[in-house]
Amino acid sequence: MLTDTDRAIGALQSIPNDLPGDDWMRLSMGAKNAGVDFETWHSWCQGASNYKGESDCRARWKSIDPNGAVKAGTLYKTAAEYGWRINGNAPPRPAPDKATARPTEPPRKPAPGQSAAEVWGRCLPATAAHGYIAKKQGTPDGLRVVPDGDRLTIAGQSMAGYLAVPAYAPDGEIQSLQFIPASGGKKLNLPGASMAGGSFTLGTDGPVYLCEGVGAAWSAWQSTGHRA
């Protein structure tokens, strides 16, 4: 069964991260009140046109009182407007009105040899022996591992040995990657490759449970038998 926190995370992930400033701040307040943690919220913020880095996000998050005036209802109401449903099913988001759509900055280009497709192509198939998979009692299906000696580094940290979780665009093309260390520490996203709108799905039958993170998806899939 999904927990209240799982539902809050799913609701947050269904909302675009490029909201106007006041709406973005109110949504963040609602997310914190609902139990969303900083790492999840920070991951959601990444890829937005106004993203200014982790230190800026951390300062903003610290300034939010989890028991302030804005409650979890703000998060769920906004998510429902974008098609999220509390049972985990979400219809496709409607396209924004071209007349009112806000202009966005062009996406940052990845460094040579570090596009999502290039990095994914260098990775090796994951096995159940990977530390994170074993710890979470998950499955290696659809996942890969960054090989030893790979040149990819993020925030000064080598990604060799990290579990690589793909994020697929609606057209089926790989658009980004999330990297998870075997110990289960901080997750890192591929720089220059937006996670917005991307997804990774486990299972093939039944309704889809919207989760944030492959660990939560494993739990939902194993407990319900449905896609996550």
Asked whether residue 77 is assigned to any structural domain, the reply reads yes
CA distance 116 to 191: 9
Are 75 and 126 found together in one domain?
no
Model pLDDT for residues 100-141, shown as the tens digit of each residue = 444 444 455 666 778 999 999 999 999 999 999 999 889 999
Domain that holds residue 161: 116-224
Count structural domains, the chain.
2
Asked whether residue 105 is assigned to any structural domain, the reply reads no
Asked whether residue 208 is assigned to any structural domain, the reply reads yes
Asked whether residue 87 is assigned to any structural domain, the reply reads no
Q: CA nearest 201: which of 190, 191, 210?
A: 210
Asked whether residue 93 is assigned to any structural domain, the reply reads no
**C-alpha torsion sign, points 85, 90, 91, 97:** positive
Asked whether residue 38 is assigned to any structural domain, the reply reads yes
Asked whether residue 145 is assigned to any structural domain, the reply reads yes
Model pLDDT for residues 177-210, shown as the tens digit of each residue = 999 999 888 888 888 888 888 888 887 777 777 7
Query: pTM value?
Result: 0.54
Are 152 and 212 found together in one domain?
yes
